């Protein structure tokens, strides 16, 4: 038995190993299908490497640049990045870093040429002082964000030149050769990156902003739809839906770092410069921040779906139409903003029209016309459970409503016991059941208020990026 068990184990492992290349292959294929620019980028890197290598061969044949030709290969590997902006940023940093380090090294050489101290000591000391000082400077936020790579290359080149100089006497030639090869390497990279199927960081930022707007629009609508939907009948479907609402929102909320990187790279790209006075990338970042602000409210709205105290469906149904309509209007504004961005035009003035405000007023009227119902459910005490019992007996399992939780969750609670306590207490409290609904409505109104800020930033963005004027029917064409 043990033997056959071992054998089957072995077979499972063998199957896993055999399946592995296939799985990786599928993953690679999916990756390429998801974003074909990845394939293009890989081919470009291969091409650049080949070109740089051939150059080395030619140069070594003619005994021109010599040993330093390998720097062209190195430059290609390090500088050629996925987007044009990142490549430009790295290439320029590398070029300027090398050039200034070379000049500085020559200057130090000149200063220390006729000193009586041994050259090795001077060199070690200089490398130490410059290395430490420049490394410290790298912590400055301005340098860290924009020129970190250039400063690193500065330290590298400076040390290499000083060290090599001790062995080779012709420092000037070495510095010159190295600079030439790096310029050639950067040239290959920039040519491939800017002229052959370029990938612009700015475009990525633009597209991700559109995707965020659409994601939020979906989120808002789905959230309200689910709140007023019949929760009992389609539990599983809801679980999926909840996750997708969550995901859209979290994508927006976590986008800060990627946004900033893309904007930074985009700011090195020359493309839009002649189109507008000022590069609008920082405005994209600001717009992203406004969207995140809006997203926090949507996230809180979404929290209302998971809340422990449920407003009875009968109360919710009273305000269903008004809330759904308001959410629909909010979502429409977001979609229109996304469309206007996609077509690089100003948004339609319709989004500032009174639809949204009429929807607001309707909700207001509905809330005012039925205060008695809200009050009724607030006063209803028979539906709750006794909390005092559960608080007195601290270790006894908390009373709970059978309808409020599915059985598998009860089992989970008894196993972990102490955590989730507050949730149980909240569920068993006689909190007025309209409280969460009031929160929901209030958050919806809050979302409308936050939308103002989003629209404002979008208008500013349209002005800075010089989007074209809105004309009805443009999108169709």
Q: How many CA atoms lie within 13 A of 183 on its CB side?
A: 9
DSSP state string for 142-204: HHHHHTHHHHHHHHHHHHHHHHHHHH-S-HHHHHHHHHHHHHHHHHHHHHHHHHSS---HHHH
Closest by Cα among 464, 385, 387 to 422: 387
Output 279 or 328, the one with its CB closest to a copy of itself. Answer: 328
Nearest-approach distance from CB 207 to a copy of itself, in angstroms: 18
Read off the tokens for 217. 């629009």
DSSP symbol at 362:
H
> By C-beta, is 79 or 190 nearer to a copy of itself?
79
Could you tell me the smallest distance in angstroms from the CB atom of residue 397 to a copy of itself?
14
Closest CB to a copy of itself among residues 333, 465: 333
Q: Which is nearer to a copy of itself, 416 or 472 (CB)?
A: 416
Q: What are phi and psi of 207, to 5 degrees?
A: -65, -40
Smallest separation (angstroms) from a copy of itself to the CB of 476: 25
Q: Which is nearer to a copy of itself, 84 or 279 (CB)?
A: 84
Q: Which is nearer to a copy of itself, 9 or 365 (CB)?
A: 365
Give the separation between CA 276 and CA 174, rounded to whole angstroms: 43
How near is the Cβ of 415 to a copy of itself at its closest, in Å? 12
CA distance 131 to 126: 8
* Min dist. Cβ of residue 426 to a copy of itself (A): 6
Q: How far is the CB of 382 from a copy of itself (least distance, A)?
A: 13
Q: Closer to a copy of itself at the Cβ: 205 or 279?
A: 205
Supply angle C-alpha 244, 213, 36, rounded to 5. 80
In the complex, minimum distance from the CB of residue 173 to a copy of itself, in angstroms, rounded to a whole number: 15
* Tokens 């064409």 -> residue: 477
Determine contact, residues 79/150, Cβ cutoff 8 Å. Answer: no
Give the bridge partners for 468, in sequence order.
345
Phi, psi of 454 (to 5 degrees): -60, -45
**Cα separation, 181 vs 173, whole angstroms:** 12
Nearer to a copy of itself, 279 or 437 (CB): 437
The Cα–Cα gap between 448 and 113 comes to 71
Residue among 6 and 321 whose Cβ is closer to a copy of itself: 321
Rounded to whole angstroms, how far apart are CA atoms 370 and 357?
Answer: 20
Alpha-carbon distance 273 to 446, whole Å?
38
468 three-state secondary structure:
strand
* Smallest distance, a copy of itself to C-beta of residue 236, A: 22
Question: Closest CB to a copy of itself among 279 and 436?
Answer: 436
Backbone φ and ψ for 196, nearest 5 degrees, come out as: -100, 115
Nearest distance from residue 273's CB to a copy of itself, in Å? 26
Q: Residue 401 phi/psi, 5° resolution?
A: -80, 130
C-alpha to C-alpha distance for 138 and 329, rounded to whole angstroms: 49
Q: Which of 82, 74, 64 is nearest to 156 (CA)?
A: 74
Token pair for 344: 């690089």
Residue 112 Cβ vs a copy of itself, minimum distance, rounded to whole Å: 14
Q: Between residues 159 and 343, which has the closer beta carbon with respect to a copy of itself?
A: 159
DSSP string, 193-220: HHHSS---HHHHHHHHHHHHHHHHHHHH
Tell me if 292 sits within 8 A of 223, measured CB to CB: no
Contact 377, 312 (CB under 8 A): yes
Q: How far is the CB of 366 from a copy of itself (least distance, A)?
A: 11
Nearer to a copy of itself, 356 or 464 (CB): 356
Instruction: Provide the minimum distance between the beta carbon of 4 and a copy of itself in the complex, in angstroms, as a whole number.
Output: 32
């Amino acid at each position: 038995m043990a033997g056959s068990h071992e054998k089957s184990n072995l077979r499972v492992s063998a199957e896993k190993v055999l399946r592995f290349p296939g799985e990786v292959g599928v993953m690679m294929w999916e990756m390429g299908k998801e974003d074909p620019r990845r394939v293009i980028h890989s081919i470009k890197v291969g091409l650049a490497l080949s070109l740089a290598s051939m150059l080395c061969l030619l140069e070594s044949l003619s005994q021109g640049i010599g040993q330093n030709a390998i720097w062209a290969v190195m430059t290609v590997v390090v500088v050629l990045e996925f987007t044009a902006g990142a490549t430009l940023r790295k290439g320029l940093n590398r070029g300027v870093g090398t050039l200034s380090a070379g000049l500085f090294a020559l200057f130090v050489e000149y200063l220390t040429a006729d000193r009586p101290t041994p050259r090795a000591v001077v060199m070690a000391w200089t490398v130490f002082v410059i290395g430490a000082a420049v490394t410290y400077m790298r912590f400055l936020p301005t340098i860290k964000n924009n020129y970190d790579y250039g400063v690193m290359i500065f330290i590298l080149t400076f040390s290499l030149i000083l060290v090599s100089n001790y062995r080779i006497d012709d420092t000037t030639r070495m510095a010159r050769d190295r600079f030439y090869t790096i310029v050639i390497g950067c040239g290959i990279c920039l040519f491939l990156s800017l002229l052959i199927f370029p990938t612009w960081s700015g475009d990525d930022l633009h597209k991700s902003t559109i995707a965020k707007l659409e994601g939020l629009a979906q989120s808002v609508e789905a959230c309200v739809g689910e709140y007023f939907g019949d929760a009992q009948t389609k539990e599983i479907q809801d679980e999926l839906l909840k996750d997708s609402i969550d995901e859209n929102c979290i994508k927006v909320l976590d986008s800060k770092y990627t946004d900033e990187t893309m904007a930074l790279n985009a700011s090195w790209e020359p493309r839009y410069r002649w189109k507008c006075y000022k590069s609008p990338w920082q405005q994209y970042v600001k717009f992203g921040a406004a969207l995140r602000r809006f997203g926090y409210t949507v996230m809180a709205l979404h929290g209302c779906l998971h809340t422990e105290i449920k407003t009875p469906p009968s109360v919710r149904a009273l305000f269903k139409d008004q809330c759904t309509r308001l959410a629909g209007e909010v979502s429409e504004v977001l979609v229109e903003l996304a469309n206007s961005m996609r077509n690089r035009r100003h948004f339609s003035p319709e989004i500032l029209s009174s639809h949204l405000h009429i929807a607001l007023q309707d909700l207001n009227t509905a809330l005012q016309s039925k205060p008695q119902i809200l009050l009724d459910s607030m006063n209803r005490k028979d539906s709750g459970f006794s909390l005092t019992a559960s608080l007195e007996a601290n270790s006894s399992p908390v009373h709970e409503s059978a309808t409020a939780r599915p059985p598998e969750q009860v089992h989970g609670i008894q196993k972990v016991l102490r955590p989730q306590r507050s949730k149980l207490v909240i569920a068993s409290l006689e909190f007025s059941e309209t409280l969460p609904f009031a929160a929901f409505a209030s958050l919806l109104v809050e979302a409308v208020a936050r939308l103002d800020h989003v629209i404002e930033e979008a208008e500013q963005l349209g002005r800075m990026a010089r989007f074209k004027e809105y004309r009805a029917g443009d999108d169709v064409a």
